[in-house]
Amino acid sequence: MGPEKLHHLIAFFLIGTGLPFGTWGLLLIIAKLGHPDLRPMIRWLRLARWAVWLVGITLATAALVTNRMWHSWHFSIGMSLVALSLGLTFPEKWVKRNYAPELIESESGQDWRPTARS
């Protein structure tokens, strides 16, 4: 593996893993420096997550359809963006847990009750 491919591999890895944790760290710094209401960030994080996922899936699918998966940068960038989209769920859930706990869905299933038939 040449140094150029290694640099691309490192860049793709950082896109998928570094940016979500960087976003989370930035939100933590903002929360610690002041006492802002980060509730509006939920909408922006969700929008960014879905937009990045859509672009990533489009690029990866285009690479698969054209049968140039390993020779094209489209697949690598696309999968990095999909990883970024998945990684952005962590800061989104953190903001929900700390600033909008009523928006968190119950994971245990204990809140669901069947309705009585009449």
Q: pLDDT tens track of the chain, all 118 residues?
A: 566 667 777 777 888 888 999 999 999 999 999 878 889 999 999 999 999 999 999 998 988 888 766 666 788 888 899 999 999 999 999 999 988 888 777 666 565 666 666 5
pLDDT score, position 22? 92
Residue 41 lies in a domain: yes
Residue 108 lies in a domain: no
Beta strands in 18-72 (DSSP E): none
Which residues form the domain of 63? 3-101
pLDDT score, position 88? 93
pLDDT score, position 34? 84
pLDDT score, position 95? 92
Mark residue 67 as left, alpha or beta (left: phi above 0; alpha: psi -120 to 50; beta: remaining). Answer: left
Q: Quick one: which of 57, 48, 51 has its CA closest to 82?
A: 57
Q: How far is CA 71 from CA 9, 32, 60, 68, 79, in A?
A: 13, 45, 12, 5, 14
Phi then psi for residue 53, to 5 deg, are -60, -45
pLDDT score, position 74? 81
pLDDT score, position 15? 82
Quote the longest CA-to-CA distance of the chain: 71
Residue 107 lies in a domain: no
Residue 42 lies in a domain: yes
pLDDT score, position 65? 87
Q: How far is CA 88 from CA 18, 74, 100, 105, 113, in A?
A: 10, 21, 17, 17, 32
- Domain count across the chain: 1
Residue 28 lies in a domain: yes
Residue 110 lies in a domain: no
